Amino acid sequence: MTPQTLFVLIMATSLLAGLSSPALALVFALYPLWLPEVFPRTTEVVFYGASMIVATGTLLASAIPAAVAERLGAGAEGAMRVWLGAAALLTGLGILVRF
């Protein structure tokens, strides 16, 4: 697979985690802390923002093992495969806990 394809898969996996993670309920409940006053306080806006926060957190958390793998000499494509695996693991655990 090309690095571009791997990155699209990593992003899709992170977005799926943003919709299915149990952390979504916590971020949703804490919306007064992170939602600016400019945006309306509707359920749709809060859910979208919470989902993007969880998806970004998944993307960043799954990048840590990839950075370690690249530092240990896995190469760019190998590190992206580790990144995809870590994102899939976090998403899978979130789905299992949620359902």
DSSP class per residue in 44-82: HHHHHHHHHHHHHHHHHHHHHHHHHHHHTT-HHHHHHHH
- Which pLDDT score is estimated for 53? 94
Look at residue 81 in the predicted model and tell me its pLDDT.
94
DSSP symbols for 18-48: HHH-THHHHHHHTHHHHS-TTS---HHHHHH
Nearest by Cα to 63 from 83, 88, 36: 83
pLDDT of residue 85: 94
Say what the pLDDT of residue 62 is.
Answer: 94
Question: CA 78 to CA 73: how far, in whole Å?
Answer: 9
Q: For the residues 86-90, what does the mean pLDDT come to?
A: 94
Among 30, 33, 25, which residue's Cα sits nearest to residue 51? 25
- Tell me the percentage of the chain whose pLDDT exceeds 90: 68
Q: pTM for the full model?
A: 0.87
Average pLDDT, the chain: 91
pLDDT at 50: 93
- Work out the average pLDDT over 81-99: 90
**Tens digits of residue pLDDT in 19-55:** 988 889 999 999 999 989 899 889 999 999 999 999 9
